[in-house]
Structure 1
Amino acid sequence: MNTAGMLAEAFDRVGEAVHAAVEGLGPEDLDARVDPGANSISWLVWHLTRVQDDHIADAAGTDQIWLTDGWADRFALPFDASATGYGQSAEEVAAVRVESAELLLGYFDAVQERTLDFVAGLEGHALDRIVDENWSPPVTLGVRLISVVAEDLQHAGQAAYVRGMLERA
């Protein structure tokens, strides 16, 4: 398996986990929080998608589709359109409410498509390119992509856990 194939497989697994956590749920379940400080499925999937959109756009030298393809307007969240969810308060988490699973998955699928297009063209040495010098050591493209996969899978798993809790309640 080559580099591009391995990355595509990793991101495909993220997509499978996200769809399994979201499909078939209505807004009430998507926005439910098991306690006042907990993250909802809506927030978890929105956040993992925002981070993926932000990081892939930065690495690819493109704009985030959240900003350019109307997703920020469709979600109509009550905070700055550049927000990705990092450092948000419990009140901000509660403000991420969606009208449908289709909206949430529509944004995820659009970001996923762009991600898969980006990684399809990568070869081994491309992963050594420095993409963020704000860290010591500087972050390479390979490290950034693995970080995105790891965070995405963690949050998709959390969303699946919340779904399981809601289904058993």
Structure 2
Amino acid sequence: MTTDIARDLMLDGFGRIRDGLPEVVDGLSIDELLWRPDADANHIAWLVWHLARQQDDQVAQLTDASESVWTGDGWVERFGLPYRADTHGWSMSSADVGRFTVADPALFAAYHAAVHERTVALVEELDDTAYARVVDDRWDPPVTVAVRLVSVLDDAVKHLGQAEYVRGLVERRR
């Protein structure tokens, strides 16, 4: 596969997440964003936050950035979540998800837009050598930049789909 094709595919995939995220939160109240289908389920707010945080954290590790957009650009303060600044959602308990709060629903799309901008900048600079660079040799085969980006995209797609599903449940409750 040529670098141009890989770039176009990555940009298209991440662009779909950028386009879908605002649609899943738009028009919902804070109560609807925080509604959980059951006590152990994730709500829309947590799903879209985690989607953006995992993308932000992993893309930051692939760039020369010294820190994520979350901490470097002040999103951690704007969200004001009851978690440590380096929290991104992995291994959080149901109780942790339940402590999630949101003051301004517009923050989700704005934060993800900043993450998307950094993702696009990274993807646009990659060439065949950069895609093949090993970033984690604890696996067999070792994880390359290309594999990591596919993993990030896969996780984002799954969480966006989950948030869309929960939105459908919220709308059916109205």
- TM-score (structure 2 length as normaliser): 0.92
**Which residue does the alignment assign to 1:8?**
11
**Which residue does the alignment assign to 1:36?**
39
Q: Which of 56, 78, 81 is the matching residue for 1:53? A: 56
**Which residue does the alignment assign to 2:22?**
19
Q: CA deviation at 1:125?
A: 2.9
Tell me, which stretches of 5 or more residues in structure 2 are unaligned?
A: none
**Which residue does the alignment assign to 2:112?**
108
Q: CA deviation at 1:72?
A: 0.7
Question: Between the two proteins, what is the percent identity of the paired residues?
Answer: 40
Contact 1:17 1:157 in 2 (8 A): no
SS at match of 1:136: coil
Q: CA deviation at 1:136?
A: 3.1
Contact 2:48 2:159 in 1 (8 A): yes
Tell me, which stretches of 5 or more residues in structure 1 are unaligned?
A: none
Q: Distance in 2 between matches of 1:73 and 1:136?
A: 39
Matched to 2:37, the amino acid is V
- Structure 1 runs of 4+ with >4 Å offset: none
1:9-158 equivalences under 5 Å are 9-62=12-65, 63-158=67-162
Q: Distance in 1 between matches of 2:143 and 2:46?
A: 26
Q: Distance in 2 between matches of 1:137 and 1:98?
A: 40
Matched to 2:7, the amino acid is A
Contact 1:3 1:122 in 2 (8 A): no
Matched to 1:17, the amino acid is G
**Which segment is superposed worse, 122-131 or 142-151?**
122-131
Contact 2:69 2:115 in 1 (8 A): yes
Number of residue pairs matched by the alignment: 169
